Structure 1
Amino acid sequence: MLGLPKGEVFLVPWTEDWSKEFLSEKERIQNKISRFIEDIHHIGSTAVKGLSAKPIIDIAIEIKDFNDGKHCVIPLESLGYSYKGINILPDRHYFSKGEPRTHQIHMYQTGSNFLVEQLKFRDYLRSNGDARMEYQELKIQLLKANKHNKHKYADEKTNFVNAVLAKI
């Protein structure tokens, strides 16, 4: 299942379909903007086997030069993405796809601290079952408390993420 309607927050169990969807979308993106891309990563909870997640595929695209992001807008719009600009989330071009939203692109310049931290956190959860389960339990608690407030839900995960990043 993919898609999260506006204003809602819910989790679904991890599925191999998310990995397949990422790979398929990665290929479509590469076919449109490959000349700007250094790498494409599957990030967020859908990228961590066994972790329940909001059913949105988060994609991190590394580009050589941050300003190249503006050259990617029209090609990505042809794939159904909507460009949200550079002021929604720090240090990135942000795109979303679908209504309900099924995919998000976070486009970073190679070396971005935000990208490095995303990849470190993802990889830590992939290799540490205890941390993965602790994070899942936290997400379930926060979901119960913030079912209709996605921003509060996301913000309240920050302490856990920062604690993990501080020790790796």
Structure 2
Amino acid sequence: MDESSAGRTRRRPDVTDVELVGGTEKVRLHLVEHDPAWAQAYARHETRVRTALGGVARSVEHIGSTSVPGLAAKPIVDVLVTVPDITAEEDYLDALVAAGYQLRVREPGHRLVRTPERDVFIHVLEPDDPAADDYLLLRDHLRRDADDRALYESTKRELVSRDWPSMNHYADAKTEVIEAIKARARAVRDGSA
């Protein structure tokens, strides 16, 4: 059995490569003003996920730009679900597929399922994965900090105007700004700002 970084026993080794189910997809990206209906959509999917997974879902959280009031976003609701063992796909993946989601990404430490309409993306991670903390750190900071929220929105507006081969390329282009915002958020959280 494989050991995770937290010393927990995993059922099997995790995948080592990135698998994009269905291959690379070219998408036309656009931003829209914040829509309060996104919170309602999240609530419906939270219920759907919790019903499908029961106690396997350690947490279910609304993340990403649609979770930040006042922030323009791509009209895609992002959801974070944490499960005890990412390698034990039989504990969560079949149930999410049966609930109507489609597997899109399988990569080390992360699985992504989405709706067929591609308007809800569900990111599955383990509770102690630093990426899970980062999603919540960024969300909470953007909810509180108007300057960083404005910076993030202006960055997204500039980037979305470009032609990208895939959504992953667009996401990668935001990395530098996101990392700077997260560094400020950590400083605030840790009391060093």
TM-score, normalised by the number of residues in structure 1: 0.88
How many residues are paired up? 161
Provide the C-alpha distance between the structure 2 equivalents of 1:45 and 1:70, rounded to a whole number of angstroms: 30
Which residue does the alignment assign to 1:39? 59
**CA distances 1:39-82 after superposition (whole Å, capped 9, x unpaired):** 10111101111111111111100112223333222221122211
Say yes or no: does 1:97 pair with 2:115: yes
Provide the C-alpha distance between the structure 2 equivalents of 1:141 and 1:56, rounded to a whole number of angstroms: 18
Contact 1:69 1:107 in 2 (8 A): no
- For the residue of structure 2 that corresponds to 1:8, the secondary structure is coil
Say yes or no: does 1:155 pair with 2:172: yes
| Structure 1 gap segments, 5+ residues each | none
**CA distances 1:75-115 after superposition (whole Å, capped 9, x unpaired):** 2112221123522xx5212111123x111111111110111
Deviation larger for 28-37 or 71-80: 71-80
Higher helix share: 1
Quick one: structure 1 residues 149 and 68, their matched pair in 2 at CA, closer, same or farther if it must change by over 3 Å?
closer
Which residue does the alignment assign to 1:111? 128
The partner residue of 2:158 within 121, 141, 144 is: 141
Which residue does the alignment assign to 1:54? 74
- For the residue of structure 2 that corresponds to 1:66, the secondary structure is coil
Question: Higher relative contact order at CA 8 Å, sep ≥6: structure 1 or structure 2?
Answer: 1
Identity between Structure 1 and Structure 2 (%): 27
Q: Which has more radius of gyration?
A: 2
Deviation larger for 145-154 or 15-24: 145-154
Quick one: structure 1 residues 146 and 58, their matched pair in 2 at CA, closer, same or farther if it must change by over 3 Å?
same
CA drift at 1:148: 5.9
